[in-house]
Chains A and B, each alone.
Chain A
Amino acid sequence: MHIPDGYLGPATYGTMYAVTIPFWAIASWKLNRTLKARQAPYLAIGAAFTFVIMMFNIPVIGGTTGHATGATLVAILLGPWAAVIAVSVALIIQALLFGDGGITAIGANCFNMAVAGVFIGYGIYRIIAAGTGPQSSRKIVAGAIAAYISLNASALLAAVQLGLQPLLEKSPSGQPFYAPFPLSVTVPAMALEHLFLFGFVEAAVTALVIKYFQKNDPQMLG
């Protein structure tokens, strides 16, 4: 789901930077008002967690791989604005140091996973888990469902951005200028593997870690 350089045209990657930068600004402003110095280690661990969980590539029929992102989990534990920052920094470092995701696509990749992934996951979790105590098993179910939907939403966004390229960016002869596959290819390809496998991995990881916090550190679950 880390879109590389060369796949999105300037119109798309420029737009995605323009959409994502305000979220970074608001997140910084929110944390500047509310964050306490003693919470810094938890943010660092949250960022480390999303980084490492994305290293677990899982093969799927058809010869490709995918992974969880931990975006929903980090949002549940640290709040959505802290999660936007934690997941974004992980994605930016992955692009800059390891070429995992393009630098032109940082805006798009951060929007898909660190903004949309975070807020969709967090919103669904809050709705399903509303009114539950720290030890409620509904929190685990809520986290799992939210994580499943969140990862699928991130994948769908990436698929749509890729699939729009042949419509938006053509050479004079009419050939695709950037990512060459239409929506009718990108959306099913990415949606199916996330609906049938990676979404469940994200759900399981989220549920397990919520269970861990219920047992060991329930105050993190508010």
Chain B
Amino acid sequence: MKEIRYENGEGKRDKSIRKLWIGIGILVVLSPLGIIIPAYFGAGGAWGEWSLDQIEKIAGFVPEGMKRTARVWKAPMTNYAVPGQGQGPTHSGIGYVLTVVIGIAVTAGIVYLLAKILARKNGTANRM
């Protein structure tokens, strides 16, 4: 009896997790709106996240330390674009979805592994 109730509980849990991943999937598919809508309204990036060129335009100069530190790290998919991707909104949109999928897979994978490692000594009770 206990065994069956446990399995029902697991089944229900798996179903709820599946539904949540579907929700994430829908958000991923919609994510290009996050660049299309700002582009439509002619909005640039976030306030305070300008490139060196933009800083020069806004402030009239590029601070020395900023010049030195700004390019300390070269991200492989800067600005959520696949390296070598084509120009135009279609390419940007596809590149955005692809990089968001990669980012989520890596993020969720690391958090999942980390959680498994941190939880390895603990039992099966359900408090966090």
Contacts and interface: CB of A to CB of B under 8 A. Distances in A.
Interface stretch (A14-22, A54-62, A120-128, A144-152): A54-62
Contact of A57 (B21, B46, B67, B122): B46
A193 B47 contact: yes
Instruction: Please indicate which of the listed interface residues B16, B52, B74, B78 has the most CB atoms of chain A within 10 Å of its own CB.
Output: B16
A6 B51 CA distance: 10
A93 interface: yes
A125 to B, nearest CB: 15
Contact of A37 (B16, B30, B116): B116
B96 A55 contact: yes
B64 A32 contact: no
A177 B62 CA distance: 9
Contacts of B34: 55-58, 67
A47 B124 contact: no
B69 to A, nearest CB: 4
Interface in B83-128: 96, 99-100, 102-104, 106-112, 114-116, 118-128
Contacts of B24: 45, 48-49, 52
B59 A180 contact: yes
A180 B107 contact: no
A6 B118 contact: no
A104 B72 CA distance: 8
Contacts of A90: 107
A143 interface: no
A79 B116 contact: no
Interface in A17-74: 28, 31-49, 51-53, 55-60, 62-67
Given A3-B49, A176-B63, A41 B72 contact: no
Contacts of A42: 17, 20
Interface string A88-100: 0110011111111
B66 A177 contact: yes
A86 B68 CA distance: 31
Nearest to B128: A79
Given A32-B121, A39-B115, A44-B109, 20 more contacts: A6-B52, A6-B68, A6-B70, A36-B125, A40-B112, A56-B27, A57-B34, A60-B43, A65-B38, A67-B46, A85-B111, A85-B115, A93-B103, A99-B74, A99-B77, A100-B80, A103-B73, A169-B65, A186-B48, A193-B47
9 contacts: A1-B46, A3-B48, A33-B122, A37-B115, A40-B119, A41-B17, A48-B107, A98-B103, A104-B72
Interface of A: 1-7, 9, 28, 31-49, 51-53, 55-60, 62-67, 78-79, 82, 85-86, 89-90, 93-100, 102-104, 158-159, 162, 169, 171, 175-181, 186, 189-190, 193, 216-217
Interface of B: 13, 16-17, 19-21, 24, 27-28, 30-31, 33-35, 37-38, 40-49, 52, 55, 59, 61, 63-80, 96, 99-100, 102-104, 106-112, 114-116, 118-128
